[in-house]
Amino acid sequence: MEGDILKGMTKNLQSMVYTTASKLFWYGEHFSSLMQQVLPQDIISDLEIMDPDKLAAAVREFLLHNNVKEGEITVILSTEVTFEKEFIDDNALKDGLALFLEQVPFEKVAHRVYYVNKKIKAVAVNKEYCMALRRILIEARC
């Protein structure tokens, strides 16, 4: 199912990576099919990066092994690595957003607020995880 979702979203992208709690799913013009990279617990555990150097090495090795050239990679975070809360209106958002963000179990939290179909949804994620993955992909020249 995840592969079908990704195929429909990649018309103009060179590559994309879909992150779950313990895996990276790679798809794009460099891959003949959806590729899965399992991340052991000594690299990622409880949505925290345990060893940034090992994560960087694993991603670089995967990209090298699969002959991924320099290009744009879009990162999509699964609901396994995000925290979400819906708010009924802007007043509820104003009153509840700070409390919601305090409850997200990371020192540094990145968040976005989305207005979709008359609903308001706040989505939060481990900022250090996102920034580390971004840095690794940039350093790997992607």
Task: Identify the bridge partners of residue 35 per DSSP, sorted by sequence position.
Answer: 26
Q: Which two tokens stand for residue 26?
A: 């790679």
DSSP-assigned letters across all residues of 44-95: EETTEES-HHHHHHHHHHHHHHTTPPS--EEEEE-TTSEEEEEESSHHHHHH
Q: Is the pTM of this model over 0.85?
A: no
Query: How do residues 47-91 score in pLDDT, each as one tens digit?
Result: 899 999 999 999 999 888 887 777 788 999 999 999 999 999 999
Q: What angle do CA 131, 3, 122 make, to 5 degrees?
A: 45
Residue 71: partners with Cβ closer than 8 Å, 6 or more residues away:
14, 15, 30, 142
73-77, strands of its sheet edge to edge: 35-38, 23-28, 15-19, 73-77
Helix or strand or coil: residue 103? helix
Q: What angle do CA 90, 94, 97 make, to 5 degrees?
A: 115
C-alpha dist (Å) from residue 82 to 2, 71, 95, 106, 108:
17, 26, 21, 11, 13
- Rounded to the nearest 10 degrees, the angle between the axes of helix 52-65 and helix 127-139 is 40
Query: How do residues 101-137 score in pLDDT, each as one tens digit?
Result: 999 999 999 999 999 988 999 999 999 999 999 998 8
